[in-house]
Structure 1
Amino acid sequence: MIKSIIVDDEMLSRNTLKKLLEIHCPEVEVVAECEDAGSAALHVSGLKPDLVFLDVAMPGKNGIEFLKEYGEINFEVIFVTAHDKYVLQAIRFAAVDYLSKPVEEHLLITAVTNARKRIQAKTANHNMETFLHNIQQKTNQQEMQLCVPGIKGFQIIKLRDIVYCEADNTYTVLHLTENKKLVASRPLMDYESLLQDTSFIRIHKSFLINIQHLKEYQKGEGGIAIMSNGKHLDVSRRKKEHFINYMKQFFKY
C-alpha cells in the first residue's frame, strides 16, 4: 500500500479526490486529510507518508511555501491546481506530476503510477530539490534544472548546459557543453513540448536547439545553424521562416 495524505483547504475537493482514489487507485491508502500547511506539517512529520497530494493555492501558506519550510522531503508529491504557468513549468522540468481540478480519472491513475515508480526508485528528494530550485529561477530561466530520465535512472542538468537535442528514434541525445552527451529515454517531440516558452526552438525534424548557444546562421535553402560547440546543424526549409522570425524576436534585431 502507498500511505498518503491529502492537503487541500476545500473539503469537497478532499472528499472527491479520496473517493476517486478508492475507486481507481485502491493501492493508495489515505491516512490523513489536512486543510492547511500547518496541519500538513504535523501530520507528515508524525505519519511519514509515501505520497502527499498537495494543493498549490491555499490561504495562508501555500503548497510551495510548505515544501520550502518543511526541511528534508522524503515523500513523493503530486501537485493539485497548479494554475500559474511558471509553476507548471517548474513542476514539469522536475519530472513531478500535477493534477488540475476537476481531477480526471485517467490522469490520476497516471500520476499515481509515476509516483509509485519514484517511490520504488527513492528519487523523491532529488525531484523536490529540483522543483524548489526551479521555482527560485523565475527571472533566470537558463539556471533552471531538468530531470532527464535514462536507462539506469535520471540525471539533473541545467538548461544553460544544453547546446542542442538530437532525435535518435524513440530516444533523445542531449549535446551538452564541454562536448558531453546524455541519452534520454524520451523522444525529441517530448522535449519540444516540455521546453516550449524557453530559449529552445525546433529547427529540423532531428534538432531542437538552445538559441543561447547559437553562434552563427548561414543562409541557404534552409540554412545552417552553427552552435557554440562548433557543430553545423541543418535548418529545414519548412522551419526556416519560423526560425528566422524567432531569432529576430530573441536577439531583437
Structure 2
Amino acid sequence: MLQQVEDFPEYYCIGTAETREKAIDTILSNQPELVFLMLGKSSKSDITLSIITELYRFINELPYFVIISETDKYAYEALKTGVFDYIISPVALTELRRTLLKFQKVIPLSGGIVPQIVENVQELQEKPESERPAADVSKSDVDIQICIKSYGDYQFIALKDVVYLQADNNTTDFHLYNGKKLTAYKTLKHYENNLPSFFYRIHNSYIVNSNYVSRINTGKSLCYLNNNDVSVSFSKTFKDNIDTIIRKIAPEYI
C-alpha cells in the first residue's frame, strides 16, 4: 500500500501502526486528513472499525476513513459508521486513484499543504527535513494559500498574511497581520512539518513567520512581531532557530 501511495506525489504517508493503541495515538498526534484501515485476517492487527467511535472521545472532527479488506464482510458496518470509502484488496491502482480523486473533491489540495495519510501497517515515519521548501524563499514567493477547516467551514488564507501560530491543546490558532485569529483543528506539530522554511518554531507553543520579526530580545527571551505590536516567548530548546532568524535578517551581527 505504501508503494502505491508513492504513485500520487500530492499525498504522503506520515505514519503507520499495527496495533489499535498505536493507531489511535498516531491519529491523535498527527491528525491526518485521510486514514486507511486494513481489516481482515491478513492485516495481522487488532484494529477494528470501533477505532472510529473511540476517537470521538478525544476529538470532535475525525479524518476521512477508507476501509481496505479482502471481502465486503465489513461493508454494512462501515457504512453505518460513516466511512468515506471501501476498497476490496488487493488494491488496484485504478481503484486507489478513484478514491483519492473523490477525496480531492471533498478536500481540495491547496497551498502545498497536502493531505496526510496514516496506514496501519508499519512504524511511524516522519517527513524528512529535506522535503521542506528551500530556505531562501523571498517574500515575493510566498503567495501560496492554506486551507483552514473548521467543521464544514473552509477558510483560505495566504501564508504571507500569517504572523504566528499558537498551540492550544490539539488545535492551532493562526494570528494574522490584520489582528484576526483563525483556529485550525490540527496540532502545531502538524504545521511545523509542513509550513515553508520562512516559518520557525521558537517555543513549544509558537511558530513565527520570520518575515514579520521586528525585534529579538535574548535577555528576556522575547521575539517581537509585526512592528513590535506582538511579543511571544522563545525557549532554549529552539535557540538555534532564533539564531537562524537573526542570521537571516542581519548576518553582519553574527
- What TM-score do you get using the length of structure 2 for normalisation? 0.49
Structure number with the higher helix fraction is 1
Q: Which has the higher contact order (CA 8 A, sep 6+)?
A: 2
TM-score by length of 1: 0.49
